[in-house]
Structure formats: structure tokens, C-alpha cells
Amino acid sequence: MNRRSFYLPTMALFVFATIIAVYYYYFINRENPVTPIIETVERKINEGGIVDEIVGENKFTGEFAEMTIPVLRDRNFSSQLGELRKYSENATHTSYLTSYDSDGLKVNGLLTIPKGVEPEEGWPAVVFVHGYIPPTIYKTTGNYAEYVNYLARNGFVVFKIDLRGHDQSEGTPGGGYYSSDYVIDTLNARAALQSSDFVNADAVGLWGHSMAGNVLMRAFAARPGIPAVVIWAGAVYTYADMQEYGIDDNSYRPPTTGNNEERVRKRQALRDQYGDFTSDSEFWKQVAPSNYLNDLKGALNIHHAVDDTVVSVEYSRNLMGLLAETDVDHKLYEYNTGGHNISGGSFSTAMQRTVDFYKSKLQ
């Protein structure tokens, strides 16, 4: 066989293979909803410090894309408060049952508004995110009353939201660490407060407990311009810390196919596609909020009791070590006693420090 007769069939085969590969990528692979397609986009930061898009980072698409910070940053959050139904009233504040839209779901919450002269620009406000409580046990008006009342009588609107699937909120409780559902609920609640006529849209902070530590830090990473974030006894910031310290919560009720089939399916699909967390996984790097600390524009206060037997104080110390390498305004308060809820004698101290922090950042 001469060189020409060998060359022509080989080139034809190469061209045919190239056409098949291009067709597969653009018309078949692109339509597969669980294939991690990665795109590069640009970063834009508006005057408020909100990052809308990312530059120099790979952005995943597919079923689990919204777990990643780049995709959450690229998403629009907008919502409005529903009808306010008076629940209770005292000398310093009035509480209302209300709701807002999040991902097309009706998510409920307890809205507490201070009495007195409303500031000209509106009240400063806090989105209050509960920790893990079994969704079938959680009640809108049955948890965190002391925390909410303390903030409200010090001049803050408090929107304590029932994350999806809790009490009467619609949807499935997706969990705090392996889903973006609660982050989305938190940021839509913030948008609902910002759209109300009695809240200062520039003075809306976040408060979270336990599981909500991860939720709030991911929300903060998605919207770095949030002015003030407070976390009590929070867990899971690097995901490697979860592997190291664990969580010892005997109230935890894992989802089963009988009571939460969709959550079980998604968790298994996530494992099948990306595996459990590893520090060298591109996907998990984009989920962990600790990889976006340098972008944060607002301030962070963390409170943790040393005798917390549910979530180790080492979670908070670990995060402080990372923040020490940034310019982020941050502080950790440790308490010798108080347990996971920072109760007893430590409670009032922690609450007053929380109020003082919010007053310095939101008023």
C-alpha cells in the first residue's frame, strides 16, 4: 500500500470521529441533566458588594449545581411578605404569622415588629434561621421565643422563618449540608424583608443556630454584601471539619424512604455523581463557604460554648483561623458554660453582645 492510499482513509476516519465527538458534546451530553458541564463566566461586583457572577472559576450545571457558591451568586432572589396575621402583642413588640415565596413554595414564618417610632429609613431587621429540629416536631411559635423577643425589644424586626418542609411550610426538608434549599429560603426571606415598606433594605442581617451556621455562611458567600451575620454554635464550614469533628445530635432523625423519599433519592444521586466530600474535588470546593472568605464585605460574629456536646467549639475555632488570614471583620465569643443553646447564665451575655453587634452594623 502506498502512502497516499493509507493517508486518505485514515484522514476520513479522523474527520468522522471528530464529527461524532462534537455532536455528542453539543447535542447529547449537553442535554443530560446530571452531567457536570462546566462554564467560565465573568465576575461583576455592584456598589453594594454583591457578587453577581464569577470570573476564573468553573461553574457547574445540572441537578446539584445550586449547591455551589458560584451558581448561587448568579441567581436572583426576590420575594414579598404575605398577609400579616396578628399572633401576639406586648409592651415592646407585636408578632405576626406570615409567609413568603421561595422556589414557588409557600414558606411560613413569625414576623416580630418593634413598637415605638419607626426610623425614617425603616427598621433594621434580622432573618432568623433555626437549627436542626426534626421537621415533624418543629413549630412556628414553639422555638426560640426568648431569642426573638430579646432582639425585638431592642429595636429589630425579626423574621423567624420555618425552613421548607417544617411545620406548615410547603416542600421537602432538604437538609442543611447537602442541599441548597435552606440557603435559598434564607436569601428569599431576606429579599422579602428588603421589599417591605417598614424595613431598611440596607440593614438586613442574618442570625442562625447550629445547622444554620453552614446555611448562613453559604448565604453570606453567595451575597457577600450582607452587612452583619451572627452564628450561635454553628457547624460545617470547610466540610473537612465535619469529617474531623462530627455532630453528636441524638435528636437527629435521618430521612427514610417512608417519610422523605425525594430527599433520600437526591442524597444518593449526589453521592453517585460526586461522591462524599474530598478536599481535591472541584465540586465540593465550590460548595464549602470557607473557600470564598476573601470576598466577604460584611461582618461576622460567632458565639460558642466550650461545653457544647452537640457541635464542637473546634468548628468555630477552625473558622476563626481561616478568617484571620483575611480582612473580614470577625470575632468569636467563647462561653465556659451554656451548652449547645448557650443557655443559663451565658444566654443574656451572648444576646446582649449580639444586639450590640447588630446595632453597630445595622443602625
- CA 306 to CA 258: how far, in whole Å? 37
Residue-wise pLDDT tens digits, 63-79: 899 999 999 999 999 99
Report if residue 56 sits inside a domain: no
List pLDDT tens digits, range 261-302.
777 888 899 999 999 999 999 999 999 999 999 999 999 999
In 196-259, where do the E strands start and end? Answer: 199-209, 228-232
First to last CA, the chain: 86
Contacts of 296 (CB under 8 A, 6+ apart): 220, 221, 224, 326, 328
Please provide residue 164's backbone torsions phi and psi, each rounded to the nearest 5 degrees.
-50, 140
User: Is residue 156, in this structure, part of any structural domain at all?
Assistant: yes
Residue 65 lies in a domain: no
Same domain flag for 223 and 93: yes
* CB 302 within 8 Å of CB 332: yes
Instruction: State residue 267's pLDDT score.
Output: 87
- Whether 315 is covered by a domain: the verdict is yes
- Whether residue 310 is contained in a domain is answered as yes
Domain match, 89 and 209 both: yes
Please check whether residue 48 lies inside any domain of the structure: no
104 and 15 in one domain? Answer: no
Closest by CA to 128, choosing from 68, 245, 212, 49, is 212
Is the same domain home to 348 and 253?
A: yes
Structural domain boundaries enclosing 10: 3-31
Which residues make Cβ contacts (< 8 Å) with residue 126, sequence separation at least 6?
151, 156, 157, 158, 159, 204, 205, 206, 207, 358, 362
Tell me: the pLDDT tens digits for 82-125? 999 999 999 999 999 999 999 999 999 999 999 999 999 999 99
**Eight-state DSSP code of residue 118:** P
355 and 240 co-located in one domain = yes
In-domain check, residue 110 = yes
Q: Is residue 181 domain-shared with residue 280, that is, in the same domain?
A: yes
Do 233 and 93 lie in a common domain?
yes
Phi, psi of 69 (to 5 degrees): -65, -45
| Residue 175 domain-assigned (yes or no) | yes
Do residue 343 and residue 203 come from a single domain?
yes
Specify the number of domains making up the chain. Answer: 2
